[in-house]
Every structure is written in structure tokens, then in C-alpha cells.
Amino acid sequence: MTSVNTAPAPDNAGVDIEHVARTEWYHRLGRYERPSTAKATLQILDTFGPYIGLWALMIVMLKHHVSYLFVLPLTVLAALFAVRIFIIFHDCGHGSYFESHRANKILGYISGILVFTPFEQWRKPHAVHHATVGDLDRRGDGDIWTMTVDEYKSVDIKTKLSYRLYRNPLLMFIVGPPFLFTVLARFPHPDAGKLERQSVLITNAAIAAIMVAAAFTIGLKAYFMIQIPIIFLAADIGTWLFYVQHQFEDVYWERHGAWDPITAALVGSSFYRLPKWLQWFSGNIGLHHIHHLKPRIANYNLQQCHDEMPELQTLHPISLKQSLATLKLKLLDEKAQKMVGYEAAL
């Protein structure tokens, strides 16, 4: 039986993943794909409950003219819960949160409204992302724009500047994510089908209805004072998580002819080891190699899967401190098979 190399390594290059799909341990992962109504219900209560409670508390504080300086820290905490809501939304998109397709769809729409993301429209590019991650010949849908060193050298100055602007940390992690969630997500994609367009309309109508209700109750000013910092910060955090999951130094990229989906899952997705409290708020999404290996494992089963499957514990994790170093990675060096900085293209 082929298995993952159990010897610790400084990177993921030594992982033996050949024929993983035919190994006994890979098939044992199926036990973790079974949704748990009890776990899902508990997570809904400990996520949506505090989120709604924080909203209520901040509304009361503003109504009683408490200084906004005391309200603002609560928006940060609410933003962390919004990230956790997005993970639930994400699992519903994979159909992994509940056994019922209808239940996944209903909760997916509800959570999508809270995080300003149309459920059906988001599912399509995300499914493409899972089907193409690490495939150099199928880039461009549901992923982060990544050029190779040779490609960067060959493009014109306008494309170089566009790429540098796109990869600029200020735009990618601060300005861009809120714009994506609050503005771009309000419009159907050019190739959107009927279902995707309907999800955009439903989500937009629900957000508008909430705003109208706010206008006649707490006032739009109070609504925006709470909602804007929440969605902006949550969008920035979520984008950072997605970036680190697929933009680390030894990340797997291969041309389509040699591309392998199992390798792409195990070596093309990071094991982002976060502090326990951040892991909780991010719904275990740092165990991203497991998620890509088996997308139908709900977030509430990921840690158990990791703990009980030693074959999945050999990949070198990225710590919170180490993840900051990924900011310098801009291009893929195909020959060295690693991400590098712009200096490699000089």
C-alpha cells in the first residue's frame, strides 16, 4: 500500500502521493464526509447567535449615544463571526453541511445574504477552482491571478503594471475585497446562467429589504456604522485566508498533461496552522489540504479527520508568522517549481 511519507520534511516536496486514490487510507476518508445534524445545529447556534447578539448590542449602544469608539471593537468581533458564517456558506455550497440538498441551499442563501455573496453565483467559479487548482493551463476562474516568470517577462509593460497593481497588498487585501463583496457581487457574471442570475437578484433584494427595514427602525446611519466595518474586515480576512491557502512557496503547479488532482489537493493547498481561536473563527479552513482532497467533509469534521488520519499529518504546516513571508511571492518559477519574487524576472 502506498502511503504518505511519515518522515518530517522542511517542505512538502518529500510527500509520496503517487496512487493515493487507490490506497486504503484515502477511502477511509469517506467516513468523515457524513454530515452531522447535531454538529451543524450546534455550529449554527454558536455562530449566528453571537453574530445577531452583537448586532443587537451595537444597535442599543448607538441608540443610547455610546461613543463609536466603544462600538467599533465589537464590529471587529462581529467580522470574525461573519468569517465563520462564510465558512458555513462555503460548506453549503459544497453540499456538505447537511444531508439534505434543500437544507444546504436554504442556509446557503441565508448565510450568503449576511456575507453579501449570491449563493448560486459563487458556487460555479468555486467548483471550477476545485477542479483546476494547480493546473497551469486552466487558470483564471475562481483563483488568484498568477503568472509564471517566463510569462511575466514576455508580456508588455501595461500587463506588467496591471499584474503588479493586482498583486499589490494594499489593493489585494485592503481595498479589493470589500469592493468585490459589496459592489461586484451585486452583478451577475457575464456568463451567468438563469440560476446564478436569480441568486444575485434574490440576494440583492434581501440586502435591500434589510436596508429599508433599518431605515425605518434604527436608521441607515446606524446600519452603515455597523455593517460597513464588519463586511469590509471580514472580506479582507477571508481574502487573506484564500491567498495563503494557494500562494505559498512550495505550492504545486503543473501543466495540464502532467497535472494530478490528488497531488494538487495535498501539495497545492496549504496546511495553515492558526492559533486555536483563529482556527475556530475560520472554521478549520486552514486544514485546506484535507478540504481539497475531500471537499464534502464539512468544516466541523476536518479537525477530527486530521487527528485520526496520521497520513495527513506529515505535510509541513505554515504558521501565522510564516504566512507573512508569502507577501513577497509574486510569480511561479516553473523550473524550480516554487513561487518567487519579481527579482526572479530581472
- Mean confidence (pLDDT) of the chain: 92
d(CA 133, CA 104): 24
The pLDDT score that the predictor gives to residue 38 is: 98
DSSP state of 115: T
Under 8 Å between Cβ of 318 and 249: no
Q: pLDDT by residue (tens digit) across 20-74?
A: 555 778 888 999 999 999 999 999 999 999 999 999 999 999 999 999 999 999 9
| Residue 225, domain member (yes or no) | yes
Give the count of beta carbons closer than 10 Å to the beta carbon of residue 217: 10
pLDDT of residue 22: 57
pTM of the model: 0.91
Can you give the C-alpha Rg of the chain in angstroms?
21
Residue 155 lies inside a defined structural domain of this protein:
no
Rounded CA gap, 58 and 5, in Å?
51
Q: How many CB atoms lie within 10 A of CB 276?
A: 7
Q: What percent of the chain has pLDDT over 90?
A: 86
Please determine, for residue 4, whether its predicted confidence score (pLDDT) is greater than 70.
Answer: no
Domain count, the chain: 1
144 within domain boundaries? no
Determine, yes or no, domain membership for 229: yes
Range of the domain at 222: 20-133+170-240+271-326
Residue 82 lies in a domain: yes
Of 144-158, 206-220, 257-271, which range is least confident? 257-271
Mean pLDDT of 85-89: 98
Residue 98 domain flag: yes
In a domain, 15, yes or no: no
List of residues 6+ apart from 125 with CB closer than 8 A: 141, 142, 189
Give residue-wise pLDDT tens across range 266-290. 889 999 999 999 999 999 999 999 9
Q: How far is CA 124 from CA 14, 110, 196, 199, 299, in A?
A: 33, 18, 8, 12, 20
Question: Which of 15-29, 196-210, 256-270 has the least mean pLDDT?
Answer: 15-29
Phi-psi region of 7 (alpha: psi -120 to 50; beta: other; left: phi over 0): beta
Does 63 fall in a domain? Answer: yes
